[in-house]
Structures are given as structure tokens and as C-alpha cells.
Structure 1
Amino acid sequence: MTDKPTLNVGLIGTGFMGKAHVFGYASAQCVFDLPNRFTMHSLADVTEDVATAAARQFGFGRATTDWRELVNDPEVDIVSITAPNALHKEMALAAIAAGKHVYCEKPLAPLASDAREMAEAAEAAGVKTQVGFNYLCNPMLQLARAMIEAGELGEIRGYRGIHCEDYMADATGPFTFRHDPAGGGALADIGSHALATAEYLCGPVARVMGDCVTMIDSRRDGRGGHRAVEVDDVGRAFLRFESGATGSIEGNWIATGRKMQHDFEVYGTKGALAFSQERFNELQYFDTADRTGRQGFRRIEAGPDHAPYGLFCVAPGHQLGFNDLKAIEVAGFARAIAGEIDEPFNFRAGLRIQHLVETIQTSSREAAWLDV
């Protein structure tokens, strides 16, 4: 049997999402029959101590404080970018120029114009790209989409989506890179997930009416003073889909008590679906064909019938986790690199989400409906 080719991975950033990328690569090649293998080759972070410790923990062969050195290493095949949002563009463009495939966390870039430059550069260079929207890899979301496309819900009339967390709820918390205008705010940071899910399930959004609000207008700056916050803490939008359906989304990082609420509801003429990330191995389904007196939402529980769940566990109800979704995302990217499938969510798709975000932000400033 011919050995599978190896792809050398270079990781920039070793925080929450950096670790998630490592788990994704490690799990994907164990769970899936991929066309290639991964080697954790090089890792970059801001200090030598952090980089060296992370390389030792994650099994990388090299550590550096210079991400440019990593990007330009001829042995590196894939560059994974999990650095702060404002740095994505420079890092990605450098990696593309060096001929690397790029896996970048969302949001792709603070501005749609930056995201467009990144997408066009990747397409011109012929490299493969992936943006980290791993919630879309959940078998329950894939089932929901299949049910909608098959007409099981009838004509889709309405949609509600929300992504709420509370990691910015404390007004005494410090100013972070996410509060910088280049970071994007709550709508770009987590509302982008709500937008991606809305279009994944219901198709393109045609018009938006936005409302972006800053509730905590200053934060400690780390030097004994305070710095003004210009980005939104809550971003909401009414949506009109090309299909004629209407809906709404919300991105909120000051939602007290919420750790991971990525929820949606879809309403059709024949039925409805409801989903909560807090119980993300379940999908609730209402069927109008059920006889009177027996109607109600019923639970569909994730199991081996919902690919690729069965590759992780042979028993239903034992549940997938967040990092399993990352492994599914990595597997799709690996197959795209090998030319087996199209890129599941490339830079062009990431540009689309950033374009939606900016249109909603503009709509909020102008207090008007805007075409996308």
C-alpha cells in the first residue's frame, strides 16, 4: 500500500483556537480515511517561553517568535492562523504569497475590502483556503439543511438565529484586541456565526436592517486609565432572504449567564425546526402532519445515521463535542487540498459573511433597510 503524503502544519497562535486547530488535525487523521497525513511542524507565538512550551505540549518540531519565519519555511504546507483578527490579513497574504494553503479563523478580516483582497490572492495563487466556521460541521445542522432542501418543512417563512455569550459582560474587564475597531465587535466576532448559519440553512440574505449597540462605552486600558470602546456589544439585524422568507439574527457578547448559545428556529408551512448549541447533539422537529392531540416538537438525537457521527462513535446518544466539529472541518479542508471536493468554506465564503456584517453595520448607522 502506498504511503499517504504528509502535509506539514505551521500554527500561528496557541490560545483557545490554536489548541482547537491542533485537536482538529490530530483527530481528523485518526477518525477519517483522509488522502494525506499531518505533521505538526512549526509553531509561532509572541514570546519564546510561550512558543516553546506550546510546541512541547502540542508536539510541534519547531517553535519561533517570528511568524514570518514560519510562513516562509519551504517545508510548511499549511498555515493555520489563530492570531487576533486584525492580523489575519497580513499573515494570510504572506502565506499565500509563499504558496501555502491557509486555514484562518473567523472573522476573515476586519473589513470586507481586506477579505476580498485575501480571497482574490488565494484564487490567483491556486492555494486552498478554509475559514473557521465549524458550527456548520455539526451533523444536526447538516440534517436540518437536508430536511429544508427536501421540502419536509414546506415553504420556509421565518428564521430566528442567535449567538450569545457573556465573556464581555463584566464592565470592569479590560480593553482587548476585540474592542479595537480593527477587531470588529460582537456582530463580527460571534454574530458572524449566526449569519453563516442563517445562509447555510435558508439561502442568501437579500436585505438587512441593522441595530448595533455599544453598552459598555469604555474599558480599562492596562495603564491605569480607560479607553473608549467604539465597537458594538450587541449586533442585531432583521433579514429578508432571497427566497422571500424573513428573519432575524443577534450577536451578543454581554449576555449574562450565556456561555455558548448558538441557536436557531426555522418555520415552514409543513413544519418547524429548533436547535440549541447548548444541546447540540439534538434537533427539535415539529410536523404539521401529526394528528391533532399528538402534535408537538419531538427530539431527533444524533447517532450513526447522521454522518459523520458514526466515525466518532458507534452508539447514538453518546454525543460529539466542540473539538469533534473542528476535526470534521479539518477533514473537509484536507480533502479539498487533495482535490477530492470543493473547499467547504473558503476565503470567498468568508468574504460573503464579512460583507453581510458591514452591510448590517452601515444599516445601523443609517437607520435604514439596505440591499446586500
Structure 2
Amino acid sequence: MTSIGVGLIGTGYMGKAHALAWNGVRPVFGDGPRPRLVHLAEVSAELAARRADEFGFERSTGDWRALIADPEVEVVSVTTPNAFHAEMAIAALEAGKHVWCEKPMAVALGDAERMAAAARASGRVTALGYNYIQNPVIRHIRTLLSEGTIGEVNHVRFEMDEDFMADPEALFYWKSEASSGYGALDDFGVHPLSLMQFLFGGVARVMAQLSMPYADRPDRAGGRRRVETWDIASVLLELRGGASGVMALNRSAWGRKGRIAMQIFGSRGTIAYDQERFNEFQLYTASDRPTEQGFRTVLTAPVHEPYDRFIPAPGHGLGFNDLKIIECHELLRAIGGERDAQIVDFDGGLDIERAVHAMAQSHREGRWVEI
């Protein structure tokens, strides 16, 4: 395969990120099929035409079904709001296309199950947009864990905080609608869950409490509308390996931007990472002499693959869209038949969705829930 035909449905924040990745993957990695940007779909023909010109797609449509029916499209990026993922992804799979779908997988667990079943039946490759697992820092942390650098892991703490919903007078929009999901759990709590899956194999059981800091928000008509989702979640959990854990999520945390703070405690040391400092992590090892024991800060560098594909010098740093390029490359490797490709496919995504719905069930019933 020398080239692969790409279709893109949706051109918001994540649609643009996918377009940048499809345009950048070949120059960065220099291998695999060359993406051919064939077809772009949006809610109107006019918007689709404008975005196709901006992003470099050959043609455009206001009907996403026409894109899926296009025989030149071999892989489809689905970057629409959450409620549309299942219908679009399943239609693409049934048409014989590979699918790269943004997270969360679906709003309803039954839809996620149908997506995973469709993927298995199709034999096509699927990937979900959990690009934080592609960070060279996270990859290296997994290597350190596999090497036993901090011994046996006994406790983990994950926090994810942002302030884009911190203002109580911010206008009501779709992320406060029940149709988008539970709120913080599946809007971005799935990212820490993807890291737990990548590093530890996932979560075994949970006890969760969800909070709604603001009961309503102003709407564009000048009234107020009731908030239907939970912006804060606090979760006790047990990893599949037996370690205990805590996950705290907050979409209304003033001052926090893109924070995923992670602490991993082991029998011989600790690893700490905070995504607001994207290109570094901290390592403490008890094997150091007492006179020098302390956290050391490690900056990413070309020795932390695939950082070297972007920048030849340490300390310069990668960013969010670079991780989407890495994710795109892993998807292409999987399509090429490479079994070690590091992606979260629809079966892996279903595991994450089951954890989310178990947390919601735990909140409703006030008890521990097995996954």
C-alpha cells in the first residue's frame, strides 16, 4: 500500500487536530502509506467546502453518508459530538472502512457494545482518540514500570482538572446536556482511564461520587437552563493488578487548564507526572544513597522515542497535536498489520466505557461496583 484514502467527518477542534495529523504523519515519520485527503463532511455543503479548502481535502459534502459511500475513502476520521459517534462509526465499518474515532466512544454503553461488535465483524482496524498514551513521557513511564524501577506498584492517584466550565455564568452548551453523557466522567475522565489501561491493564472495581457545582446556566434566549451533567467526580478504585487508587475529576477548577496529574507509588520508589508540564516527569528511587535521595526531574529528549522524529535536541518539547501525529502513525501501523501498534481499539475502548458506566452506577447505588 503506497497511499490510503482519508475521509474526515467533523471539522471542529478535534477535526482540525485529525487534519493536521493526516497532513503531518508522512513528513514526520517517513514511512507507511501516504495519506490522500479525499473527502470531508460537515453539517452544510458550504462549511464543508470551506474546510476542505483549508485542510487540503479534494472534495466535500454536507452529507456524511456520501463520504462513507465514497469508494476512494479507505479510513474515516469521526470527530463529531459524542452522540453521533456510534451511528457514523458503525456505518463506516459496515462499508469496509477503517475508523479513527474521537473519545469518548459513545454516550450509551449499548452503543459502545454495538461499535465493538461491528469492528470485530468487519475485520477493519479501529482506534479511539486517546492520544495521551502516545506521549514519550508516558511510554517511558511504562518502560520504567515494566523494568521494576519503583518496585511493585501499590497505590496510584490520578487527577484531571480544567476550568472551561468554572464560570457559573458561562452560557449553557451541549456539554451540559444529558445527551452528551454523564459529564466529567466521559468528557475527559476517560483520559486517565486510558492511562490506567495503558500502564496497569485497567480498573477492576470502583466507588464513585458525582457532583454538580451549578444547578443551571444562562441560555442564549436570556433565560436559564437546568444543567444535566456532573462536572465533578471523585472515585475510589482498585486496579486489575490489585493496587488501590484514587481518581479526581473537575471541569470547573479555576486556574487549571489541561492538567492530568499522576502519582504512582511503588515498593521502591515513586513516579510523578503533571500534564501541565507536558515534557517532563519526576522519579524518586529508594535505591539512591540517603544523602542524595529526592525527586529528580527528567526532561524528554531524542532518547525517548518517538520524540526524535520531531526534534533532534532535548528540552524543546512536544505538544498536543504532535501526539495526534504519533497516534495517526500507530493507526497506520495497525492497518499495515503490525501487531505491536499502540492504539486503543474499540474493544479496549469498550473496557474504558464499562468503567465509566460502573462509576455512574456506583454513584446511583452508593456502593462498590465490579467492572
Q: Same fold (TM over 0.5)?
A: yes
Match of 1:195, SS? helix
Aligned residues of 1:79 and 1:103 also touching (Cα < 8 A)? yes
Q: Give the secondary-structure state (helix, strand or coil) at the position aligned to 1:296.
A: coil
| AA partner of residue 180 (structure 1) | E
Q: How far is 1:353 from its partner?
A: 0.8
Aligned match of 1:162: 159
User: What pairs up with 1:143-154 in 2 under 5 angstroms?
Assistant: 143-154=140-151
Does the CA contact (< 8 Å) of 2:127 and 2:345 recur in 1?
Answer: yes
Give the equivalent residue in structure 1 for 2:103.
106
User: Which of 44, 48, 62 is the matching residue for 2:45?
Assistant: 48
Retained in 2: the 8 A contact 1:171–1:216?
Answer: yes
Larger displacement relative to structure 2 (231-240 or 334-343):
334-343
Question: Residue in 2 aligned with 1:192?
Answer: 190
Q: Which residue of 1 aligns with 2:2?
A: 5
The equivalent residue for 1:278 is: 276
Q: CA deviation at 1:28?
A: 1.2
Residue 90 to residue 221, structure 1, CA distance change in 2 (3 Å): farther
Looking at structure 2, the residues matched to 167 and 47 of structure 1 have their Cα atoms a distance apart, in angstroms, of 28
> Residues 31-69 of structure 1, C-alpha deviation per residue, up to 9 Å, x if partnerless?
113321101111111133322221111111112111111
Gaps of 5+ in 1: none
Aligned match for 2:233, one of 227, 230, 235: 235
The secondary structure found in structure 2 opposite 1:361 is helix
Shift of 1:265: 0.5
Asked if structure 2 preserves the Cα contact closer than 8 Å seen for 1:165 and 1:261, the reply is: yes
List gaps (5 residues or longer) in structure 2. Answer: none
Corresponding residue of 1:355: 354
Which 4+ stretches in 1 moved above 4 angstroms?
Answer: none
State the SS of the aligned residue for 1:80.
Answer: strand
Query: Where does 1:177-188 land on structure 2 (aligned, <5 Å)?
Result: 177-184=174-181, 185-188=183-186
Give the deviation of 1:340 after TM superposition: 2.0
**What letter corresponds to residue 125 of structure 1 in structure 2?**
S
Does residue 248 (structure 1) correspond to residue 246 (structure 2)? The answer is yes
| Corresponding position of 1:140 | 137
Aligned partners of 1:316 and 1:167: how far apart in 2? 32
**2 CA distance for matches of 1:61 and 1:206?**
46
- Tell me the CA shift for residue 342 of structure 1: 5.1
Specify the code of the residue in structure 2 equivalent to 1:75.
E
Q: Is the 1:34–1:335 Cα contact (8 Å) retained in structure 2?
A: no
Which of 284, 289, 299 lines up with 2:297 in the alignment? 299
Where 1:157 maps in the other structure, the secondary structure is strand
The answer on whether the counterparts of 2:358 and 2:369 sit within 8 Å (CA) in structure 1 is yes
Q: RMSD of the alignment, in Å?
A: 1.3
Task: Give the structure-2-normalised TM-score.
Answer: 0.96
Q: Which moved more, 1:127-136 or 1:312-321?
A: 312-321
User: In structure 1, how many angstroms separate the alpha carbons of the residues matched to 2:267 and 2:236?
Assistant: 21
Within the candidate set 205, 211, 214, 1:213 is matched to 211
The question of 1:65 aligning with 2:66 is answered no
Post-superposition CA distance 1:254-278 (Å, at most 9, x none) = 1111110012010001110000111
**Identical columns (%):** 44
1:76 is aligned to 2:68: no
- Helix, strand or coil for the counterpart of 1:256? coil
CA–CA separation in structure 2 for the residues paired with 1:112 and 1:171: 30
8 Å CA contact 2:26, 2:32 repeated in 1: no
> How many positions carry a matched residue from both structures?
369
2:160 partner letter: H
Q: 2:8–2:41: 8 Å Cα contact kept in structure 1?
A: yes
Equivalent position amino acid for 1:360 in 2 = M
| Letter paired with 2:88 | M
Once residues 48 and 361 of structure 1 are traced to their aligned partners in structure 2, the CA distance between those partners, rounded to angstroms, is: 39
| Residues 338-347 or 362-371, more deviating | 338-347
Contact 2:193 2:202 in 1 (8 A): no
3-state SS of paired residue (1:182)? helix
Q: Normalising by structure 1, what TM-score?
A: 0.96
